[in-house]
Amino acid sequence: MTLTRRQQQLLWLSVGLSAAGYLVFALWSGWQDVLHAVQRIGFWPIAVSLLLSLGNYLLRGERWALYLRQDRHPLPRLLNQRIYFAGFALTTTPGKAGELIRSLFLRPYGVQYHHSAAMFFSERLADLVAIVVLTALGLTHLHQGEVYFLLLVAALLAGLLLLRTRWPEQLLRRLAGGTRKGLQWLAEVAASSRPFWRGRLLWQAQGLSLVAWLAEGFGAWLVLRSLMPDIPLSLALFIYGFAMLVGALSFLPGGLGGTEATMTGLLVLQGMALPEAVAATVVIRLATLWFAVVLGLFAVLSLPTQPGVPQPVREETS
């Protein structure tokens, strides 16, 4: 399987803009100083960060396999991971919506589009919850930070309980009024998502999400510690998580620009020199976001052009 011409154009545009942005970023903060800071980080923190990022992707791929089993369309583990990784090829799209390309790869195996969209929606929410928890953990180093942490966790639990009800689906159907097809489709996605947010699957998926993002946050801490030895893990998790949230809420492709500016700014506020903050930010983003894009491209190329015999589509139940 290959990407369409438009998808390739979007990918190369995001790569080009990112490379140009990182170059301007480095030149603005002092090219030589940035290079020196990268050298200070060294090989091992970067290598371990890459391994932890790979662990993040594999754990999230296992979560995707849980969703497929819930949808009664289990795939062989290697094929599942290849399809999941293939979505990373277009992760530098607004809101990571390009990862919906997995729907095209799953359709030959009997997975309906609104079911795979429901899986995408569910995993985005699971990731959001996990990153908010990591960010909240970072608040614990502040005065009365434990109170803020507990309040955030309580709000997240309330949100998870709400998702288990029919209320989101009913609201969308009322807004659609039988005429707005887009909202009707979203209502179908909400209905298809509900089984993923119930019982044992909810806690399994959320547990995998938390461990996955904690691994990536730990990798970011290793990079930061090379330049700021006394930085606490909780603070590193807060900086990484908060920057990721800002990037996601900006709806810029892959959070590009928003995530980098936020991470650099927070590091400077903690007393890190600007060239070092830029170097740390670029290394962390290369080891997380762009590592995923590269693996995603290899996964797309590895997928068969003629899939095996599709499994029968699950019958709809009312």
The number of residues in the chain equals 318
pLDDT of residue 193: 76
Q: What's the number of domains the chain is made of?
A: 1
Indicate the burial class of 268 (C-beta count within 10 angstroms; 0-12, 13-18, 19 or more).
middle
Q: Evaluate whether residue 314 is within a structural domain.
A: no
* Confidence grade of residue 100 (pLDDT, cut at 50, 70, 90): confident
- Specify the amino acid at residue 170: Q
Assigned token pair, 239:
């900086």
- Residue 153: give the domain boundaries: 5-302
* Confidence grade of residue 214 (pLDDT, cut at 50, 70, 90): very high
Rounded CA separation 142/23 (Å):
35
Q: Evaluate whether residue 272 is within a structural domain.
A: yes
Q: How many CA atoms lie within 13 A of 285 on its CB side?
A: 27
Rounded CA separation 79/87 (Å):
13
Rounded CA separation 139/259 (Å):
19
Asked if the model's pLDDT at residue 264 lies above 70, the reply is yes
User: Phi/psi of residue 94, each to 5°?
Assistant: -55, 130
Rounded CA separation 117/111 (Å):
10
Q: Evaluate whether residue 311 is within a structural domain.
A: no
| Cα-to-chain-centroid distance, residue 178 | 33
What average pLDDT does the segment 129-147 reach? Answer: 77
Rounded CA separation 91/100 (Å):
9
Indicate the burial class of 309 (C-beta count within 10 angstroms; 0-12, 13-18, 19 or more).
exposed
* Confidence grade of residue 314 (pLDDT, cut at 50, 70, 90): very low
Q: Kindly give, in sequence order, each residue whose CB lies less than 8 Å from that of residue 160, ignoring residues fewer than 6 positions away.
A: 129, 197, 202, 206
Backbone torsion region of residue 84, taken as left when φ is above 0, otherwise alpha when ψ lies between -120 and 50, otherwise beta: alpha
**What Cα–Cα distance (Å) separates residue 65 from each residue in 75, 82, 161, 274?**
7, 11, 23, 42
What average pLDDT does the segment 43-71 reach? Answer: 96
Q: Evaluate whether residue 193 is within a structural domain.
A: yes
Instruction: For residue 94, list its beta bridge partners.
Output: 253
Residue 230: DSSP 8-state: T
Q: Evaluate whether residue 141 is within a structural domain.
A: yes
pLDDT of residue 22: 72
Nearest of 83, 85, 76 to residue 58 by alpha carbon:
85
Asked if the model's pLDDT at residue 240 lies above 80, the reply is yes
Q: Evaluate whether residue 128 is within a structural domain.
A: yes
pLDDT in tens, 278-309: 999 999 999 998 899 899 989 988 887 655 54
Q: What is the mean pLDDT of the chain?
A: 82
Share of the chain above pLDDT 90, in %: 39
pLDDT of residue 91: 82
Mean pLDDT highest for which of 88-97, 188-197, 206-215, 240-249? Answer: 206-215
Asked if the model's pLDDT at residue 182 lies above 70, the reply is no
Greatest Cα-to-Cα distance within the chain, rounded to the nearest angstrom: 64
Rounded CA separation 282/22 (Å):
7
What average pLDDT does the segment 261-288 reach? Answer: 93
User: Sign of dihedral through CA atoms 103, 107, 109, 111?
Assistant: positive
* Confidence grade of residue 172 (pLDDT, cut at 50, 70, 90): low
